[in-house]
């Protein structure tokens, strides 16, 4: 079986509810006249080897990393050029058929969940690194390029690509852009949005436009900033211009063991409060440590209730000064173990435990939910205690592994779906954790996106007017609502969609602010 919010150790048969937004008016077989017309036209215009219509092959693409929601697409196109992407989208626009983009399929919010009545455009074949320009600190890559491969291409020139999701060995740049992915080093270096300066972009009508470029900030409206993090609801990027970062002069990685998450959280706040901004501060609790040890034998301190992985980089003198501050604050807040990586091998071993954490919990639980929320850093001790109390009262184990420096939590809710009621209990705990994040002044997602998984939580963060304003932006790009519909927003609105909560004339339209398309 699979979890509702994340991946698990095993995958079972087609299970789980199909979100209502994914059910076509013609049923779930994708045999309506519009999709038939799209199939026929795509077959006529594209090479046979890029068009997938066989049902068994179509099922390969029925979900992303959020495996509980599964929908078999009506048609899959394995695009290998911007012209093919534009052709397919243009046909979809003319036939009013929805389309969804998919990269490596590592997303954890259902953002790449297909439509039963639509086309899934797979971008993983578009993996050319078009240019590496160290003199401009830029690279131009296609959306199927794997995150880590950008760094490999830039390394001979003394540069690397800073955003580093835990899945960086397999996740692709197009998906990183769509979700505004972060990673362990986002504390110092920021998210994908901070490292993308331009994109070749296919709009929902099939037109190809250039957003931004090599310059740090293009004039006019920040359409590139709007597209980054839009989860494929505004169109598809077919090339991305990324900012390259110079390799630091020195890097120091330390592992500190604490008796409790309270102590580790207090040390984190003290380090940041002292003016030190490490490249990364990652925390794992006892249950996450147990899983990592079982999976990769990372040799974290025995008996630790929590560990911090702290990485410092920059000029050597600066790193040395920051290291002294980090060690002092860790020891003042109860660190009973403090290990410094002496070489790249030891550094890789320390990071291996953290990077493997999501998959590692499969060693201690047959099923688990990967949650994602953000809280203010100073609220870490309080919220972690609340999660522990929630776990104790519900009997549902929760392993915590997260970006402590910026308060981006990734609680792993463990359960056994073969036992009656455990899946439902885990779902309830997972939802309550998001409520805790909102109550603490945080967010329902830091880097995994909203997708189909968290759309119901959007009204808990935003007012009706907030959501309507977002939807107006979406309508400006996609008035026919064919670009990855059914994602992010809890109810359809504007653009001629079913009005949902609003009856009669929409108040924004009545006031002249919005137009119903």
pLDDT at res. 7: 41
More confident site: 48 or 16: 48
* CATH fold group of domain 20-122: 3.30.43
Torsion sign (Cα): 476, 481, 486, 492: positive
Phi-psi region of 231 (alpha: psi -120 to 50; beta: other; left: phi over 0): left
Nearest to 183 by CA among 245, 121, 271: 245
33 pLDDT band, cuts 50/70/90, is very high
Q: Is the pLDDT of residue 483 over 70?
A: yes
Torsion sign (Cα): 160, 162, 164, 168: negative
pLDDT at res. 218: 87
Q: Is the pLDDT of residue 41 over 80?
A: yes
Over range 451-468, report the average pLDDT: 94
Phi-psi region of 30 (alpha: psi -120 to 50; beta: other; left: phi over 0): left
Q: Which of 69-78, 216-225, 320-329, 502-511 has the lowest mean pLDDT?
A: 502-511
Q: How far is CA 379 from CA 262, 375, 447, in A?
A: 10, 7, 19
Q: Which of 10-19, 252-261, 373-382, 419-428 has the lowest mean pLDDT?
A: 10-19
Q: Is the pLDDT of residue 409 over 90?
A: yes
Over range 143-162, report the average pLDDT: 98
Q: How many CB atoms lie within 10 A of CB 17?
A: 10
Domain layout of the chain by residue ranges: 20-122, 129-246, 250-439, 463-510
| Distance between CA atoms of residues 517 and 58, nearest Å | 33
Over range 189-194, report the average pLDDT: 96
Contact 273, 281 (CB under 8 A): no
Token couple for 432? 């309550």
Q: Is the pLDDT of residue 27 over 50?
A: no
Residue 72, classified by CB atoms within 10 Å of its CB into exposed (0-12), middle (13-18) or buried (19+), is buried
pLDDT at res. 510: 52
Report the helix count and the strand count for the chain, using DSSP H and E: 17, 20
pLDDT at res. 496: 53
**What's the CATH superfamily of 250-439?**
FAD-linked oxidases, C-terminal domain (3.40.462.10)
pLDDT at res. 289: 97
Q: pLDDT tens for residues 62-78?
A: 999 998 899 999 999 99
Domain range 129-246, CATH class: alpha beta
Task: Assign 3-class secondary structure to 403-442.
Answer: EHHHCEECEEEEECCCCCCHHHHHHHHHHHHHHHHHHCCC
- Helix (H) or strand (E) segment spanning residue 51: strand 51-52
More confident site: 30 or 13: 30
Q: How far apart are the first and last CA of the chain?
A: 42
Instruction: Locate all alpha helices (DSSP H) within 277-364, ordered by sequence.
Output: 286-296, 316-332, 344-355, 357-360
23 pLDDT band, cuts 50/70/90, is very low
Q: pLDDT tens for residues 322-360?
A: 999 999 999 999 999 999 999 999 999 999 999 999 889
pLDDT at res. 1: 33
Token couple for 267? 């040390």
pLDDT at res. 25: 35
Indicate if 250-439 has the same CATH topology as 20-122.
no
Over range 472-489, report the average pLDDT: 95
Q: pLDDT tens for residues 94-112?
A: 999 999 999 999 999 999 9
Average pLDDT, the chain: 90
pLDDT at res. 29: 53
pLDDT at res. 68: 82
Token couple for 340? 């410094």
Q: Which of 18-22, 148-152, 358-362 has the lowest mean pLDDT?
A: 18-22
Over range 278-295, report the average pLDDT: 96
Nearest to 308 by CA among 345, 351, 276: 351
Q: Annotate 453-475 with DSSP letters as a single string.
A: TSGGGHHHHS-HHHHHHHHHHHH
Q: Give the phi and the psi of residue 270 in degrees, each rounded to 5.
A: -65, -40
pLDDT at res. 118: 98
Over range 378-391, report the average pLDDT: 93
Let me know the angle formed at the C-alpha of 141 by 135 and 145, rounded to the nearest 5 degrees: 130
Give the up-direction half-sphere exposure of residue 225: CA atoms within 13 A in the CB hemisphere: 8
């Amino acid at each position: 079986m699979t979890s509702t919010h994340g991946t698990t150790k095993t995958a079972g048969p087609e299970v789980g509810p199909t979100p209502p937004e994914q059910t076509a008016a013609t049923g779930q077989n994708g045999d309506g006249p519009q999709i038939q017309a799209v199939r026929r036209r795509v077959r006529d215009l594209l090479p046979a080897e890029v068009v997938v219509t066989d049902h068994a092959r179509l099922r390969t693409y029925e979900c992303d990393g959020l495996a509980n929601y599964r929908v078999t697409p009506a048609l899959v196109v394995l695009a290998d050029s911007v012209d093919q992407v534009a052709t397919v989208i243009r046909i979809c626009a003319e036939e009013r058929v929805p389309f969804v983009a998919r990269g490596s399929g590592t997303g954890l919010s259902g953002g790449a969940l297909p439509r039963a009545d639509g086309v899934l455009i797979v971008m993983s074949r578009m993996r050319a690194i078009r240019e590496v320009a160290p003199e401009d600190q830029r690279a131009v890559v296609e959306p199927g390029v794997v995150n880590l491969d950008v760094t490999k291409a830039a390394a001979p020139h003394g540069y690397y690509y800073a955003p580093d999701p835990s899945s960086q060995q397999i996740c692709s740049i197009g998906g990183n852009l769509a979700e505004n992915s972060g990673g362990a080093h986002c504390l110092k270096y920021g998210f994908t949005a901070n490292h993308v300066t331009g994109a070749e972009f296919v709009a929902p009508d099939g037109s190809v436009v250039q957003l931004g470029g090599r310059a740090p900030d293009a004039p006019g409206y920040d359409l590139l900033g709007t597209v980054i993090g839009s989860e494929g609801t505004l169109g598809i990027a077919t090339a991305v211009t990324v900012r390259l970062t110079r390799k630091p002069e020195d890097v120091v990685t330390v592992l500190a063991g604490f008796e409790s998450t309270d102590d580790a959280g207090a040390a984190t706040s003290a380090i940041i409060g002292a003016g030190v901004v490490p490249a990364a501060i990652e925390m794992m609790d006892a249950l996450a440590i147990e899983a990592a040890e079982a999976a990769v034998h990372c040799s974290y301190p025995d008996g630790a209730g929590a560990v911090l992985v702290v990485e410092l980089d920059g000029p050597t003198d600066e790193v040395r000064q920051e290291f002294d501050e980090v060690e002092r604050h860790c020891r003042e807040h109860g660190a009973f173990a403090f290990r410094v990586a002496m070489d790249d091998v030891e550094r890789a071993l320390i990071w291996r435990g953290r990077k493997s954490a999501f998959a590692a919990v499969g060693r201690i639980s047959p099923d688990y939910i990967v949650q994602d929320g953000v809280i203010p850093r100073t609220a870490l001790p309080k919220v972690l205690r609340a999660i522990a109390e929630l776990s104790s009262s519900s009997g549902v184990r929760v392993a915590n592994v997260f970006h402590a420096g910026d308060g981006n939590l990734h609680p792993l809710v463990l359960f056994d779906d073969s036992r009656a009621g455990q899946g439902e209990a885990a779902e309830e705990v997972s939802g309550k954790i998001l409520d805790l994040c909102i109550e603490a002044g945080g967010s329902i997602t830091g880097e995994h996106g909203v997708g189909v998984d968290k759309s119901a939580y959007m009204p808990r963060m935003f007012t009706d007017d907030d959501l309507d304003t977002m939807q107006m932006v979406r309508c400006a790009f996609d008035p026919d609502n064919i670009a990855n519909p059914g994602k992010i927003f809890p109810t359809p609105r504007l653009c001629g969609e079913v009005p949902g909560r609003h009856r009669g004339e929409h108040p924004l339209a009545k006031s002249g602010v919005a137009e119903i398309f």
